């Protein structure tokens, strides 16, 4: 991918000449997304300085790299990636251009947050472009499940402790506090969603399998005919018919997709409703951290399901 290599290289050269490291003595942590940054901040506390590259309102598959990204990655003690090829279109050349050996894949300062979580939709058999933007290593939107967030926090705790052994007890205490608050919140979310277990919904993109499975909902179709492929008129008509036959009324959409087609579909389905949920921390102003992301989404989703199901 072309990331304006010559201009960025010049910026990096200037930066490297004057880079003196982190004067506060904190570990510099850079993450692909705000979700990872939120969890890293929860565990790292005031022992880390955390920078997220992609914003929560952006589609994380398609991020325009900036010279400032390379500057951040160059001085990182730890880079945390979503993995599963989510960032394949923009991360590899960024990391390579950073001139930071320790955060290259396989280095001590590189953490793939997907390695100890539950991954869904791992394809089998041959994968071709005709299938759309299928991820060969499974669905990379795994963070949209609280239990995976806990596992991500564990991996970050372990890596931070490896990089700064003197702070191991501190990171463990921070993790334990996050774990307690997350467990308390999960009970609240489970209670809010309990009346709607088994409800069938449609989503725009395959962003929500972990989320929907965790809270007992069934995704029966997608506005996209295939991942990353824009909806066609024929597919749209078929989806409308399927929703009518099944009495399915709710379409969940990410904020970076156009609402035109989802709203057109909903208008043809009795009681149809389009609901925009935040796919990441920072996706809306209310989703200020990992727990608040679910607080926001569960509140909206439970309200919408009550409206369309009458429960």
pLDDT at 204 over 90: yes
- C-alpha separations of 18 from 15, 69, 100, 310 in Å: 6, 17, 15, 63
Q: Is 19 helix (H, G, I), strand (E, B) or coil?
A: coil
5-185 shares its CATH topology with 188-309:
yes
- Taking the C-alpha atoms of residue 309 and residue 115, their distance in angstroms, rounded to an integer, is 38
Cα–Cα dist 183/267, whole Å: 38
Condensed to tens digits (0 to 9), the pLDDT of residues 267-302 reads 999 999 999 999 999 999 999 999 999 999 999 999
Q: Is the pLDDT of residue 11 over 70?
A: no
- pLDDT digit string, tens, across residues 15-25: 444 444 454 68
Residue 9 confidence (pLDDT): 46
Domain 5-185: CATH superfamily is Nitrogenase molybdenum iron protein domain (3.40.50.1980)
Residue 301 burial (C-beta neighbours within 10 Å; 0-12, 13-18, 19+): buried
What pLDDT score was predicted for residue 132?
Answer: 61
What's the rounded mean pLDDT across residues 103-115?
97
Domain edges within the chain: 5-185, 188-309
Question: Which one-letter DSSP state was computed for residue 139?
Answer: -
Q: Which fold has domain 188-309?
A: Rossmann fold (3.40.50)
Measured between alpha carbons, how far is 308 from 273 in angstroms, rounded to an integer?
8
Determine if the pTM surpasses 0.75.
yes
Q: Please, which residues bridge with residue 273 across strands?
A: 250
Q: Which long-range contacts (CB under 8 A, 24 or more apart) does 164-171 make?
A: 164/27, 164/47, 167/47, 170/45, 170/47, 171/43, 171/44, 171/45, 171/47
* Residue 30 and residue 72 in contact, taking contact as beta carbons nearer than 8 Å: yes
- Strand, coil or helix: 154: helix
Provide the H-helix boundaries in the chain.
Answer: 5-18, 34-44, 67-74, 91-97, 146-163, 168-193, 209-214, 233-246, 260-267, 290-309
- 169/162 Cα distance (integer angstroms): 12
215-251: per-residue pLDDT in tens? Answer: 999 999 999 998 888 999 999 999 999 999 999 999 9
Mean per-residue pLDDT of the chain: 91
How high is the pLDDT of residue 23?
44
Torsion angle, alpha carbons of 161, 165, 166, 167, to 10: 0
Q: Is beta strand 218-222 parallel, antiparallel or unpaired with respect to 200-203? A: parallel
Helix axes 146-163, 168-193, angle to 10 degrees: 180
What's the pLDDT tens digit per position in 249-274?
Answer: 999 999 999 999 999 999 999 999 99
Sign of the Cα pseudo-torsion (301, 220, 262, 149, in order): positive
Residue 263 CB partners (closer than 8 Å, separation 6+): 274
């Amino acid at each position: 991918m072309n990331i304006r290599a010559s201009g960025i290289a010049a910026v990096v050269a200037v930066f490297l000449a004057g880079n003196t490291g982190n004067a506060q003595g904190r570990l510099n942590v850079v993450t692909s997304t705000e979700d990872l940054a939120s969890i890293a901040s929860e565990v790292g506390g005031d022992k880390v300085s955390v920078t997220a590259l992609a914003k929560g309102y952006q589609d994380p598959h398609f991020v325009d790299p900036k010279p400032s990204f390379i500057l951040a990655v160059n001085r990182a003690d730890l880079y945390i990636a979503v993995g599963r090829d989510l960032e394949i279109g923009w991360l590899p050349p960024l990391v390579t251009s950073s001139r930071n050996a320790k955060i290259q894949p396989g280095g001590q300062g590189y953490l793939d947050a997907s390695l100890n979580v539950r991954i869904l939709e791992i394809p089998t058999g041959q994968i071709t472009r005709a299938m759309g933007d299928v991820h060969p290593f499974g669905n990379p939107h795994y963070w949209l499940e609280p239990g995976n967030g806990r596992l991500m926090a564990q991996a970050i705790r372990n890596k931070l402790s490896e990089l700064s052994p003197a702070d191991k007890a501190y990171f463990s205490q921070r993790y334990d506090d996050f774990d307690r608050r997350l467990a308390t919140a999960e009970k609240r979310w489970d209670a809010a969603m309990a009346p709607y277990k088994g409800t069938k919904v449609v989503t725009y993109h395959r962003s929500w399998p972990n989320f929907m499975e965790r809270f007992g909902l069934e995704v029966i179709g997608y506005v996209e005919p295939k991942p990353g492929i824009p909806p066609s008129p024929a597919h749209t008509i078929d989806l409308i018919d399927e929703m009518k036959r099944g009495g399915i009324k709710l379409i969940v959409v990410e904020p970076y997709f156009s609402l035109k087609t989802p709203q057109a579909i909903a208008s043809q389905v009795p009681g149809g409703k389009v609901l925009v949920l935040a796919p990441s921390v920072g996706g809306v102003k209310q989703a200020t951290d990992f727990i608040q992301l679910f607080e926001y989404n569960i509140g909206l989703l439970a309200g919408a399901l009550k409206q369309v199901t009458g429960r």
